[in-house]
């Protein structure tokens, strides 16, 4: 009885409100409230397992928090338990789009720590490998970015070129994807004439296909509308939040480790550091496009200048001997055994060595305590640093621009999550 | 190593950095070490933010780009018995363990774009109560680097705006890169998703 009487009372109140014209029923304006959108980690445009929490006002991004760690495999911990040589294959899995560049970076760091220098031929081949990896990575970046803003064709064209590059890597390193090509003090195998011819064929043909992509995108109305003026970041802020690589150069900062502190043989090769001043998605696209042609230039010069000679340093106690000699000579057998089981024992100390990887400054900080395994190995991954600027870039943009901005930063989560 | 491979610091800068830092901070610059042509300056922990600000804002030095921050656990650093030898030699030499007050290190790598040089700063952090001042007020990029160091070593950065884990789950109890954390992990520490 009591419930029905209460119900009647409520209903009568509501009716009274409805009849009374001076009473207002206030409903919150839905457009005045923020909406929080969870983007990823399985979103196709987040380039892997990046998760973004985006706070929206209507369609405008008010705030954005990247969450990561979905691909965290603990490589720094693994490094502490493996010898220096054992860690080289793990670097393939960091930035899996350009594994040779990672191999070169880790090997240079180890060589610096142990005081080894690779012979000139090996250094030239490393340069060639790293630059081809850069082309491969930039093709992926541009293709994926174009697909994110709706241009499917470019993605397929870019992948056609990458397929040719994979064939080149196959000849050069023996594998297509996870190359593990470098060794401490040199490289795994020499570049044959057949490989050299294949690389030459690729760099001869590549500018034509590069131009096709340019024709498709550079003055494409839709592409320009989606990228020009989107995700702008200026150079000063970029430096402050730790932008690196092509993303930094697109904001007008001329910083490239290949000229900043020339490693390998970059000081003997002539190339330009590409910069753009706008700092938007289109500028980042343009920097990558132009850098690919510079890489072609570098590879061509390196192929011309490459000297004959050994591909491994002559330091028997540090550098793995040739396999034929291991099977036939006692001395080499002993060295092989000790290097593989014990490691190369660099003297105690700490170093930081970085190269201009495909995404930016790829550095390794290694601390040795004199044993065969690194005491601490820190990977300074460019994707991680670039992602830190993402909240700044997307603030005030539309929700659909977030996709274009992520594409223009080109993060690889294998590298960002380590 | 030939001359062109002296990579990071040009020699004039190296002397200048040391001179300037010693003049400005005196006793708070603990050691200046060099290994493979790289300069490592150890700084008193409480002064790290000021030293960073000085390095960044001094017009002649202008270390305007922070490239990395990382932590390091020095527990049993000198102990070579962890080295697996094929002869399984028992190391008799047992050096003094690193005192607990100096267990952790935080390492800062900086670049000066104008002078084309690098510097590494280092502070020692207590193992019992690992707290270090944050430098996010000087370099914005320190934000995530410090979060990563916190996640991996449990070093809390005082003054950091958002001190959360970055890789591991929020409720995770351990700090994986500490030397007393086992390589295989702690079974059951990350709950499996329900079936």
**pLDDT at residue B109 greater than cutoff 60:** yes
Question: Which has the closest alpha carbon to A406: A34, A91, A38, A39?
Answer: A39
Domain-located, residue A303: yes
Are the beta carbons of A209 and A142 closer than 8 angstroms? no
Q: Nearest CA of chain B to the CA of A350: how many Å?
A: 7
The CATH code of the domain that includes A210 is: 1.10.645.10
DSSP letter string over A186-244? Answer: EESSPPPHHHHHHHHHHHHHHHHHHHHHHHHHTT-HHHHHHHTTSS---HHHHHHTT--
Distance from C-alpha of A255 to C-alpha of A249, rounded to nearest angstrom: 7
C-beta neighbour count of B164 within 10 angstroms:
11
Quote the domain boundaries for residue A201.
71-382+402-411
- On whether any CB of chain A is under 8 Å from the CB of B65, the answer is yes
- Is A68–B86 a contact, with Cβ atoms under 8 angstroms apart? no
Pairwise CA distance, residues A215 & A61, whole Å: 32
Nearest alpha carbon to residue A350 among A109, A106, A75: A109
* pLDDT-derived band at A1, boundaries 50, 70, 90: very low
What is residue A125's predicted lDDT score, i.e. its pLDDT?
92
Contact A242 B67 (CB under 8 A): yes
Q: Is B67 on the interface with A (CB under 8 A)?
A: yes
Q: Which residue has the higher pLDDT, B97 or B162?
A: B162
Is residue A32 in some structural domain?
A: no
SS3 B156: strand
Provide the pLDDT for residue A201. 92
pLDDT in tens, A233-265: 988 888 889 899 889 999 988 888 888 888 888
What is residue A106's predicted lDDT score, i.e. its pLDDT?
A: 92
Q: What is the pLDDT, as a whole number, of residue B1? A: 40
Q: Is residue A11 a part of any domain in this protein? A: no
Q: Which residues pair with residue B61 across a beta bridge?
A: none
CA distance B61 to B57: 8
Residue A355 domain-assigned (yes or no) = yes
d(CA A350, CA A378): 11
Q: In what order do the strands lie in the sheet with A35-39?
A: A35-39, A51-57, A60-67
Residue A205 lies in a domain: yes
Contact B67 A255 (CB under 8 A): no
Which segments of B9-164 does DSSP mark as H helices, in order? 11-25, 48-57, 142-153
Higher pLDDT, A29 or B160: B160
Contact call for residues A357 and A107 (beta carbons, < 8 A): no
* pLDDT tens figures, A190-212: 888 999 999 999 999 999 999 98
Asked, for residue A375, whether it belongs to a domain, the answer is yes
User: Average pLDDT for residues A366-385, to the nearest whole number?
Assistant: 87
* Banded pLDDT at B2 (limits 50, 70, 90): very low
pLDDT tens for residues B48-76? 888 888 888 888 888 888 988 988 888 76
Looking at the structure of chain A, the number of domains it has is 1
- Return the domain boundaries, chain B: 3-158
Distance CA A400, CA B101 (A): 51
Please tell me the distance in Å from A39's CA to the nearest CA on chain B: 17
Residues in chain A within 8 Å Cβ distance of B139: 240, 242
User: Residues in chain A, how many?
Assistant: 418
Alpha carbon of B12: minimum distance to chain A alpha carbons (Å): 16
Which residues in chain B touch residue A363, judged by CB atoms under 8 angstroms apart? 67-68, 109
Which residues, other chains included, contact A133 with Cβ-Cβ below 8 Å and sequence gap of 6+?
A: A97, A98, A99, A100, A101, A358
pTM above 0.90, yes or no: no
Confidence at A105, pLDDT banded by 50, 70, 90: very high
Any domain includes A46: no
Provide the pLDDT confidence category of residue B87 given band limits of 50, 70 and 90: very low
**Share above pLDDT 90 across residues of chain A, in percent, rounded to a whole number:** 23
- Which residue would you say has higher pLDDT here, A370 or A112? A112
Look at residue B32 and tell me whether its pLDDT is greater than 50. Answer: yes
Q: Which of A175, A157, A44, A171 is nearest to A99 (CA)?
A: A175
Scanning every residue of chain B, which has its alpha carbon at the shortest distance from the alpha carbon of A254? Answer: B113
Mean pLDDT of A392-399: 88
**Looking at per-residue confidence, does A31 or A333 come out higher?**
A333
Hey, which residues does B118 pair with through a beta bridge?
Answer: B111
In angstroms, the CA B104 to CA B126 distance is 6
Question: What pLDDT shows up at residue A139?
Answer: 92
Q: In this predicted model, what pLDDT tens digit does every residue of A110-136 receive, in sequence order?
A: 998 888 888 999 999 999 999 999 999
Does residue B139 contact residue B122 with C-beta atoms inside 8 Å? Answer: no
Q: What's the mean per-residue pLDDT of chain A?
A: 86
SS3 B136: coil
State the pLDDT confidence band at B88, using cuts at 50, 70 and 90.
very low
Q: Is A73 on the interface with B (CB under 8 A)?
A: no
Q: Say which CATH class B3-158 falls into.
A: alpha beta
Residue A186 lies in a domain: yes
Give A77's contacts in chain B (Cβ within 8 Å). 176-177, 181, 183
B72–A367: do the CB atoms touch at under 8 Å?
yes
Please answer whether residues A102 and A94 qualify as being in contact, where contact means their C-beta atoms are separated by less than 8 angstroms.
Answer: yes
**pLDDT tens, position by position, A40-70:** 788 777 778 888 888 888 788 888 888 888 8
Residue B82 contacts A, CB cutoff 8 Å: yes
pLDDT at residue A166 in the model: 92
User: Residue A350's closest chain B neighbor by CA?
Assistant: B35
């Amino acid at each position: 009885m009591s419930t029905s009487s209460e119900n009647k009372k409520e209903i009568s109140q509501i009716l009274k409100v409805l009849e009374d014209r001076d009473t207002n029923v206030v409903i919150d304006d839905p457009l005045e409230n923020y909406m929080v959108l969870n983007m990823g980690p399985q979103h196709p445009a987040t380039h892997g397992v990046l998760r973004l929490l985006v706070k929206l006002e209507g369609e405008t991004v008010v705030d954005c928090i990247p969450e990561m760690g979905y691909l965290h495999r603990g490589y720094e911990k693994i490094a502490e338990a493996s010898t220096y040589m054992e860690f080289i294959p793990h670097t393939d899995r960091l930035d899996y789009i350009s594994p040779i560049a990672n191999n070169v970076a880790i090997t240079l760091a180890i060589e610096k720590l142990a005081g080894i220098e690779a012979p000139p031929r090996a250094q030239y081949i490393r340069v060639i490998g790293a630059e081809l990896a850069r082309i491969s990575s930039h093709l992926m970046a541009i293709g994926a970015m174009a697909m994110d803003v709706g241009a499917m064709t470019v993605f397929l064209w870019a992948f056609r070129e990458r397929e040719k590059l994979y064939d080149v890597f196959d000849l050069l390193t023996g594998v297509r994807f996870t190359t593990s090509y470098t060794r401490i003090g040199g490289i795994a195998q020499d570049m044959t004439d057949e490989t050299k011819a294949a690389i030459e064929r690729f760099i001869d043909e590549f500018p034509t296909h590069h131009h096709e992509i340019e024709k498709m995108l550079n003055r494409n109305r839709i592409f320009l509308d989606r990228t020009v003026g989107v995700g702008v970041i200026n150079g000063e802020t970029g430096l402050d939040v730790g932008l690196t690589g092509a993303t930094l150069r697109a904001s007008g900062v001329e910083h490239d480790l290949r000229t900043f502190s020339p490693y390998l043989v970059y000081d003997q090769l002539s190339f330009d550091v590409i910069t753009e001043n706008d700092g938007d998605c289109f500028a980042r696209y343009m920097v990558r496009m132009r850098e690919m042609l510079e890489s072609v230039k570098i590879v061509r010069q390196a192929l011309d200048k490459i000297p004959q000679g050994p591909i491994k340093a002559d330091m028997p106690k540090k550098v793995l001997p040739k396999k034929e000699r291991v099977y036939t000579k006692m001395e080499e057998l002993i060295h092989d055994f000790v290097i593989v089981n014990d490691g190369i024992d660099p003297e105690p100390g700490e170093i930081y060595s970085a190269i201009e990887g495909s995404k930016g400054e790829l550095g390794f900080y290694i601390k040795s305590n004199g044993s065969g395994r690194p005491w601490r190995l820190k990977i300074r991954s460019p994707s991680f640093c670039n992602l830190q600027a993402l909240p700044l870039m997307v603030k005030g943009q539309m929700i659909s621009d977030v996709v274009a901005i992520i594409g223009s930063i080109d993060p690889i989560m294998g590298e960002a999550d380590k | 190593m030939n001359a062109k491979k002296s990579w990071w610091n040009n020699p004039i800068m190296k002397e200048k950095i040391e001179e300037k830092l010693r003049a400005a901070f005196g006793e708070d610059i603990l050691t200046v070490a060099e290994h493979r042509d790289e300069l490592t300056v150890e700084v008193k922990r409480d002064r790290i933010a000021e030293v960073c600000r000085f390095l960044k804002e001094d017009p002649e030095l202008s270390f305007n780009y922070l490239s990395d921050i990382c932590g390091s656990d020095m527990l049993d650093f000198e102990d070579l018995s962890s080295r697996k030898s094929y002869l399984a030699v028992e190391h008799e030499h047992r050096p003094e363990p690193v005192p607990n007050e100096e267990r952790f290190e935080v390492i800062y790598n900086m670049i000066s774009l104008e002078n084309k040089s690098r510097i590494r700063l280092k502070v020692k952090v207590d193992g019992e109560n690992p707290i270090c001042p944050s430098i996010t007020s000087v370099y914005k990029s320190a934000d995530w680097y410090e979060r990563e160091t916190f996640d991996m070593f449990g070093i809390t950065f005082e003054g950091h705006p958002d001190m959360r884990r970055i890789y591991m789950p929020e409720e995770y109890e351990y700090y994986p890169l500490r030397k007393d954390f086992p390589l295989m992990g702690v079974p059951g520490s990350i709950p499996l998703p329900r079936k």
